[in-house]
């Protein structure tokens, strides 16, 4: 089955590592980090029901939502609904996850800074209970 979205801005890239995602996501690194900067830019497509693990970014992250419907949640806070045109500014060292709703894809561009600690520190998966609770 061809799951490529013909309206997508970018090619959907490679399957995201199952160690850090529940469900299926696709990652296209648009701008790799190099010696000229501390940031990398990627386009991520989450299929319905997919979310990444709880994680932090030592130097923060910016998400630009380009398609679909999803959620962003910081630990201990209510989830924020995401749709096309939304911008999420994630402070450094703030535990959070992002992903699609149960029945829609979510596509976002992620601009991720890094420090000597790296760009992301992966934590526990978002449980079904945690994920279901944001679909109130
Ligand atoms: Mn993140």
Would the pLDDT of 34 be above 90? no
The domain ranges of the chain are 3-133
Give the tens place of pLDDT for each residue, 53-65. Answer: 999 999 999 999 9
Backbone CA torsion sign across 66, 109, 76, 16: positive
C-alpha distance across the termini of the chain, in Å: 32
User: 27-37 burial, b for 16+ CB within 10 Å, e for fewer?
Assistant: bbebeeeeeee
| Distance between Cα 2 and ligand 1 center (Å) | 28
With pLDDT > 70 as the criterion, what percentage of the chain qualifies? 97
Q: How far is the CA of 5 from the centre of ligand 1 (A)?
A: 23
Is 88 in contact with 82 (CB distance < 8 Å)? Answer: yes
Residue 8, pLDDT above cutoff 90: no
Whole-number Å distance, alpha carbon 98 to ligand 1 midpoint, is: 7
What is the value of pTM for the model shown? 0.94
* pLDDT on residue 119: 95
Class of CATH domain 3-133:
mainly beta
Could you tell me the distance, in angstroms and rounded to a whole number, from the CA of residue 56 to the centre of ligand 1? 6
* 107 CA distance to ligand 1 middle (Å): 13
Separation between Cα atoms, residue 32 and residue 131, nearest integer Å:
30
Of the two residues 6 and 102, the one the predictor is more confident about is 102
Question: Does residue 89 sit in helix, strand or coil?
Answer: strand
């Amino acid at each position: 089955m061809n799951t490529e979205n013909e309206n997508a801005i970018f090619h959907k890239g490679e399957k995201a590592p199952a160690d850090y995602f529940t469900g299926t996501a696709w990652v296209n690194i648009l701008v790799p980090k190099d010696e000229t900067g501390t940031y990398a830019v990627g386009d991520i497509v989450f299929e319905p029901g997919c979310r990444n693990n709880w994680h932090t970014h030592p130097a923060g992250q910016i998400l630009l939502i380009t398609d679909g419907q999803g959620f962003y949640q910081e630990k201990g806070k209510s989830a924020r609904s995401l749709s096309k045109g939304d911008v999420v500014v994630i402070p450094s060292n703030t535990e959070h996850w992002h992903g699609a709703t149960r029945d829609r894809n979510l596509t976002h561009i992620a601009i991720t800074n890094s420090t000597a600690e790296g760009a992301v520190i992966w934590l526990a998966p978002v449980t079904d209970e945690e994920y279901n609770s944001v679909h109130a």
